[in-house]
Amino acid sequence: MSSNILTTDFLKIWPVVPGTLLLSAVILLLGILGGAVLNSLQGSHSRLTKLVVRAYVTYFRGIPLLIHLMIFYYGLPLLLTTVVPLFDRGVNAISFQRMSPLYAIILSYGLYTSAFMGEIIRGAYRSVQRGQLEAAQAMGYTKWQSFVHIKLPQALTEALPKFLNYYLLLIRQLSLAFMVSFIDIFAQAQLQSANNYRYIEAYVASAGVYWLLSLALTFIFNKYERYLRRFETSFS
């Protein structure tokens, strides 16, 4: 294994790191928003709504992410080509091309992540003792004030480490997006190895990039987690 080639591959991979981190953050944010909606719907009094939410969660958690990505990238344009003329009689022939890789990734990963975030949020809310909310209402707090000042800080403290761990997972899961021509860390390593036919150096370099990112992000996340833990101490 050549140290010069390893260094070159390492430096070639770094330019795609910001885009990988940004896209992972966007997906995580969409997943958290979607998870919050799912958690809210799960608390509905409608049995049908609960059944739909449960079906959604089990579907996306039970099927590999790569399958969802392929469905959105290849299947959704075909579905639109078939369905749109049925609703618009003025359209005689319409053909949707393949979806943009970026849109396909955001949609498939976002919906997939929402299923996991919903369960994390539900568990975080349940971790807050009901007695604290009852005590807050007895002190004159409204339900909204109890949520903002009592429930939300503690639930966030409980859920944040899981959110951040999933963010690290998303960074690695984006390697699947090479199937739809998105260039992330692993994909850049593959392209680099295809140029010089030195596969070991490229894969070792990508492993080094992942490892350094994991160390740096874990350090930052631990700092924020300790910062938020003071809320837990205040209400314990």
Tokens 């849109």 — which residue? 103
Q: Which of 74-88, 103-117, 217-231 has the highest mean pLDDT?
A: 103-117
From residue 199, give the alpha-carbon distance in Å to each of 36, 173, 177, 194: 42, 21, 20, 8
Q: Where are the alpha helices (DSSP H) in the chain?
A: 3-13, 17-42, 47-62, 65-70, 76-87, 101-126, 130-138, 143-146, 152-173, 185-196, 199-235
Coil vs helix vs strand at 93 = coil
Task: State the pLDDT at residue 79.
Answer: 67
**Can you tell me the mean pLDDT for 59-67?**
89
pLDDT at 96 over 80: no
Residue of higher predicted confidence among 81 and 109:
109
Task: State the pLDDT at residue 230.
Answer: 66
Task: State the pLDDT at residue 95.
Answer: 47
Mean pLDDT of the chain: 81
Q: 155, exposed or middle or buried, with CB in 10 Å at 0-12, 13-18, 19+?
A: buried
Residue 31, amino acid: G
Maximum separation of any 2 CA atoms in the chain, in Å: 70
pLDDT at 123 over 80: yes
| pLDDT band per the 50, 70, 90 thresholds, residue 234 | low
pLDDT digits (tens, 9 = 90+) for 3-32: 777 788 788 889 999 999 999 999 999 999
pLDDT at 86 over 70: no
| pLDDT band per the 50, 70, 90 thresholds, residue 33 | very high
Q: 52, exposed or middle or buried, with CB in 10 Å at 0-12, 13-18, 19+?
A: middle
Task: State the pLDDT at residue 215.
Answer: 92
pLDDT at 109 over 90: yes
pLDDT at 193 over 70: yes
Instruction: Report DSSP state, residue 99.
Output: P
Count of beta carbons in the 10 Å neighbourhood of residue 210: 20
pLDDT digits (tens, 9 = 90+) for 132-172: 766 776 777 776 767 766 677 777 777 888 888 899 999 99
Count of beta carbons in the 10 Å neighbourhood of residue 129: 14
